[in-house]
Amino acid sequence: MMNRREFLKSVALASSAPLWVRFSAIGAEAAASAGAPIPDRLLLVLYLAGGNDGLNTVVPYLDPAYAQLRPGIGLKADEVSSIGGGLALHKSLARVYSMWQQGQVAVVHNVGYSKPNFSHFDSTYIWETASPDFQYHTGWLGRYLDATDGGSAGAVRAVAIGTGGLPRTLVGEEGAGFALNTLSDFAFADAGRPDAALRRAAYASFGAGVPSSAMHAKIMQAQNNMTSAVATVSQVAKGITGPMTPAKTVAQMFAAGVGTQIGFISVGGFDTHTTQRGAHNARLAEVDTAIAEFFDAAAALGVADRATVVTFSDFGRRVEENASGGTDHGSSMPVLVMGPRVIGGTYGARPDLTALDAGNLVPAIHLGSVYSSLLAQAFDVDPAPIMGHEYPTLQLLG
């Protein structure tokens, strides 16, 4: 016994004792219990970072006020795809338009909150917390996770892919979300070492045997859950061939049977103060690509019928173009809700470009209404306790 403990001396004596066999069996058992049912409803949040120009996304291209206020960057009929009623989608949104034609896109007009805040940080904070008065510091989906499961049942319920950190949207009081750059991030950092298997085996043995206290039992369970989740995600990652994007990765996580029901990805570059036209075309094309990639991957994996995508941004942009061919920070925005379960169409009144408040749109639908609708219709929960307020809902999903 003692010479084994004095391991610096014992290294040379290392033998292939049967311990590894025991460890492997434990590891296999943990991995086998990892499979969780795929949730019935899956939500991907797509954040357009920088403040997307909503009026050049869902475009009132026949409105004389639009043409008058945007002589340089206003889109013409041949630059948009009409969705009726004098409105059209930006031409870059080809996939979104095709989903619109299939009745799978809800356009919620003029969403925001009162007393618009024009700071990127603050307004994004408000959109993520759904709390214009800074009542909440947690994200609206983080609070949903808290309300339904807390931090106990798997950090894999919500993932942000490629966002560089955990977006506040997914921050609950019990820290329920998890941020990955790629699937391989949800992995042991030492996985490539020659002794990785031995380390895993030792780790697995922490969670074996008889717990010494109630707290110890919880820790053993939590550590086993963690290794199981890592093993499962790693299996998911191994099955993937070809280059991955955040959108595809979310689809893989949804389909992996690790309990993931919320994804979060972002497309940046929407702070178009100058020479907006070309940049905005390109950014919206990226958004469209992400949406297409997500639904294509989800369809291939058999989970597309459960999935809904919702967009948001920091804020909308000023109605009138500025002298630099761009737009400054504004207020409300159209929110797009997309997917097979969506009841397609437009919701609310399109913004009135002749009744502005200091050059900005006057929001008509509170962002809390959109979120409450999604919580109620996608996740079948009472939104009021999560939102801290009873907002009127829209029937967005069937």
Partner 1 sequence: MGADLAGDRSLIAHLFRRAGFAARPAELDHYQAAGYDVAVADLLSGTPLMGATPSFAEATDPVLEPTYNLVGRAAPRPLLDIQTEWLTRMVSTTVPLVERMTLFLHDHFATAYVPGDIIDTQELTAQNWVFRRHALGNWKALCHAMLEDVALSAWLDNNVNVKKHPNENLARELMELFTLGVGNYTETDVREASRALTGYQIGYNLEPRGPRNTMVFNAALHDDGTKTILGSTGKFMPHDVIDIVLEQPAASRFLATKLIEYFVMPVAPSGFVDRVAETFVASDWELVPALRTIFTAPEFKATSVRGALVKSPAEFMIGAFRALNRTESDLHQTGVRWMSQAGQSLYDPPNVGGWPHNEGWLGAGQLLARYNAGSILADRHVTAFVLPGTTAAGATTVEGWGEVFGITDLSAPTVAALEGYLDEADAATPQSIAAAMITLVVASPDFLVA
- Residue nearer to partner 1 on the CB measure, 4 or 238: 4
Q: Does 16 bind partner 1 (CB under 8 A)?
A: yes
165 is an interface residue for partner 1 by CB under 8 A? yes
Query: Which residue shows structure tokens 């967005």?
Result: 396
Q: Does 3 engage in binding with partner 1 (CB under 8 A)? A: no
Between 151 and 345, CB nearer to partner 1: 151
Q: How far is the CB of 222 from partner 1 (least distance, A)?
A: 4
Cα–Cα distance for residue pair 102/156, rounded to 1 Å: 32
Cα 306 vs. chain centroid, distance in angstroms?
15
Contact segment (CB under 8 A) with partner 1 among 106-114, 216-224, 351-359, 375-383 equals 216-224
Tell me: does residue 52 bind partner 1 (CB under 8 A): no
Residues in the chain: 398
Q: Of 84 and 121, which has the nearer Cβ to partner 1?
A: 121
- Interhelix angle 19-32/214-238, rounded to 10 degrees, is 80
Centre a 10 Å sphere on the Cβ of residue 5 and count the other Cβ atoms it contains: 8
Binding mask 171-200 for partner 1 (x = CB under 8 A): xxxxxxxxx------x-xxx---xx--xx-
Whether the CB-CB separation of 376 and 383 falls below 8 Å is answered with yes
For the window 65-94, what string marks contact with partner 1 as x by the rule CB under 8 A? ------------------------------
Q: Is the dihedral of CA 165, 169, 175, 178 positive or negative?
A: negative
Residues 6+ apart with CB under 8 A from 33: 224, 228
> Residue 137 or residue 238: which is nearer to partner 1 going by CB?
137
To the nearest whole angstrom, how small is the minimum distance from the Cβ of residue 387 to partner 1? 15
Instruction: Decide if residue 5 touches partner 1 (CB under 8 A).
Output: yes
Q: Give the nearer residue to partner 1 in terms of CB position, either 14 or 358.
A: 14
Pair of tokens at residue 200: 């895993």
Candidate list 72, 85, 86, 209; residue touching partner 1; CB under 8 A: 209
28 binds partner 1 (CB under 8 A): no
Q: DSSP of 351-379, one letter per residue?
A: P-TTS-BTTB----EEHHHHHHHHHHHHH
- x/- map, 129-158, partner 1, by CB under 8 A: -----x-xxx-----------xxx-xxx--
CA 256 to chain CA mean position, Å: 16
Choose the binding region for partner 1 from 17-25, 86-94, 297-305, 383-391 (rule: CB under 8 A): 17-25
Distances (CA, A) of 308 to 104, 179, 305: 10, 20, 8
What contacts 162, CB < 8 A, 6 or more positions away? 180, 181, 182, 245, 246, 249, 265, 266
Kind of pairing, strands 105-112 and 345-347? parallel
Task: Count CB neighbours of 86 within 10 A.
Answer: 13
User: Letter for the amino acid at 302?
Assistant: G
Interface characters, 308-337, with partner 1 (x: CB under 8 A): ------------------------------
**Residues in contact with partner 1 by the rule CB under 8 A:** 4-8, 10-11, 14-17, 19-20, 23, 117, 119, 121-122, 125, 134, 136-138, 150-152, 154-156, 165-166, 171-179, 186, 188-190, 194-195, 198-199, 201-203, 205-206, 208-209, 212-213, 215-216, 218-220, 222-223, 225-226, 229-230
